[in-house]
Amino acid sequence: MTDLTQSTAPSSDDIETVARQVIATLPPAFAPHAKDIVLRIEDVAPDDMLDELETDDPLELTGIYDGIPMTEKSPSEPQHFPDTIWLFRRAIIDEWAERGDVTLHDLVAHVTVHELAHHFGWSDDDIAKIDRWWE
């Protein structure tokens, strides 16, 4: 039996390290387009973000892309804020514990890639067609 008395929850730095590894190892076709994305790790989503998404439970949101997808960007209308991927530590840990069938590294990598896909202009439906992760 595993001794959980000595275990500590993964820190924001642990989650950021995995996310940065994922970004650093993107295929060459995608890597240049991800280099300027800001990565933010927070314990939970801020209240204003939850309100905007019309959800009350911060543990339901593991990550979000905040920006204008590449497919919608226009050189004539510059963006006044950086594209940002937010990862929410407590929600990721909660899902990891509930699932029990994936490593924390794999879950963080999956959430990071999912949010990157939104940056590249993919919808949730597009992602679901090729990513059977949640089945």
- So where are the chain's domains? 11-69+80-130
pTM to 2 decimals? 0.84
Query: 10-56, pLDDT tens digit by residue?
Result: 899 999 999 999 899 888 888 888 888 999 999 999 999 999 989 88
> Is the separation of the CB atoms in 60 and 107 below 8 Å?
no
**Separation of alpha carbons 38 and 40, rounded Å:** 6
Residue 83 tokens read as 């594209």
Query: 51-77, pLDDT tens digit by residue?
Result: 998 988 999 999 999 998 888 887 777
CATH class of 11-69+80-130: alpha beta
**Separation of alpha carbons 85 and 111, rounded Å:** 10
